[in-house]
Amino acid sequence: MTAAGSVAAGLSIETQGLTKRFGHQLAVDNVDLAVPHGAVFGFLGPNGSGKTTTIRMLLGLAAASAGTVSVLGLPMPQRLHEVLPRVGALVEGPAFYPFLSGTANLHRLDAASRHGTPGTRKARVAAALERVGLSHAGGKRVHAYSLGMKQRLGIANALLSPRDLLVLDEPTNGLDPQGTREVRSLVRSLAADGATVFVSSHLLAEVEQICTHAAIMSAGRLVAQGPLAELRQAGGTRIRLLTPDAGTACDVLLRLGMAPERGNGRAGSDEAGMPGVDGDVVTAGAAAAARPDLPAPEDVVAELVAAGVRVRGFSVERESLEERFVALTGEGFDVAQ
């Protein structure tokens, strides 16, 4: 899609075939991103999956080996000088002069920008500090800031001018719970003001709590993307059965086009999940080749009972978002800090 096509499609970021090689190493492999205007877009993947390298190419900080990038409807890096004034970014953590105050740091950073207007600098710095909740600490030296305060100061730097797009790489990395809540609340407020917010993270909990859309990276490849609700629904559904007649139950479930697995849960075990009830655990999802979804739960139970299976526990479970991501990436995710 052309840059004009990106605007027509309502995309703040679009890539096609984006690829980056470092010698023989393929760091980003043929990535097609589509980030809608106004979204809080989670760019999710294990550490080392290619997230930061992709972000650096989006911002013109690294050259792509192949493919195209469009940001805010303009090709990058060809139109970099038009795009970057409309983009605020916090990549690989903020860096400040530790013995200068937060206010003094922002003044120096704004003065170094060709787009900063000297006549409005004082007011813009004050407004940015207020926006991130650091007005009370603006005169304090940065070496006395907590990690959360430093992250918020980095975001304040990104907000010194009005931005259409904010790109935040691991904005809660290393923060304590209070700092995490502060940054999370700030991201929500930025999105509420109409900006597109692109948040890279390896923390599943962050993406679930603040994002409307997400993309999942694994080993340099984009393995899924879309609205968060659709990614949740894309996970499989399975039944969980507790019965002393596991063998017969498996035969029935196979006949119904399902793929049963027999566990070793016994009476009172955590796996059975039904303390004090004797039986084996049988789980079964849809056998894709036979039928794409599960039969109705009541029909499954009726068939089991008709075959003489003693049903002592039955539930229907949807694959969690965490399980979905692990299935796509083959790796675990951090789900809490």
Contacts 24+ apart (CB under 8 A), 259-265: 259/284, 259/285, 259/286, 259/287, 260/284
* Same-domain pairing of 9 and 65: yes
Residue 274's pLDDT band (boundaries 50, 70, 90)? very low
> Does residue 84 form part of some domain?
yes
Pair 133, 158 in one domain: yes
What whole-number distance in Å separates Cα of residue 292 and Cα of residue 331? Answer: 25
| Residues ≥6 apart with Cβ < 8 Å to 5 | none
Tell me: do 247 and 219 sit in the same domain: no
Are 300 and 224 contained in the same domain? Answer: no
Output the CA torsion 265→266→267→271 (10° steps).
-10
Three-state secondary-structure class, residue 97: coil
- pLDDT tens for each residue of 46-62: 888 899 999 999 999 99
Residues 65 and 199 in one domain: yes
Say whether pLDDT at 255 is over 50.
yes
The answer on 284 and 229 residing in a single domain is: no
Answer yes or no: do 52 and 136 share one domain: yes
Whether 70 and 11 have beta carbons less than 8 Å apart is answered as yes
Q: Is residue 330 part of a domain?
A: no
* 202 and 116 both lie in a single domain: yes
Q: Residue 262 CB: number of other CB atoms within 10 A? A: 15
Answer whether residue 336 is part of any domain: no
User: Are 43 and 185 found together in one domain?
Assistant: yes
Q: How confident is the model at residue 331 (pLDDT cuts 50, 70, 90)?
A: low
3-state helix, strand, coil in the chain (%, to 5): 35, 30, 35
In contact, 44 and 21? CB cutoff 8 Å:
no
- Residues 167-214: pLDDT tens digits? 988 887 777 788 788 888 888 888 888 889 999 887 777 788 888 999
Distance of CA 41 to the CA centre of its chain: 7
Domain termination site, one of 233, 255, 276: 233
The total of structural domains in the chain comes to: 2
| Of residues 64, 88, 60, 63, the one with CA closest to residue 74 | 60
What CATH number did the domain enclosing 264 receive?
3.30.70
* 332 in a structural domain: no
Domain boundaries, position 245: 237-318
At 107-124, the pLDDT tens digits run: 999 888 877 788 899 999
The CATH number of whichever domain residue 64 belongs to comes to 3.40.50.300
Is the CB of residue 270 less than 8 Å from the CB of residue 282? no
Instruction: Name the domain boundary from 214, 233, 252.
Output: 233
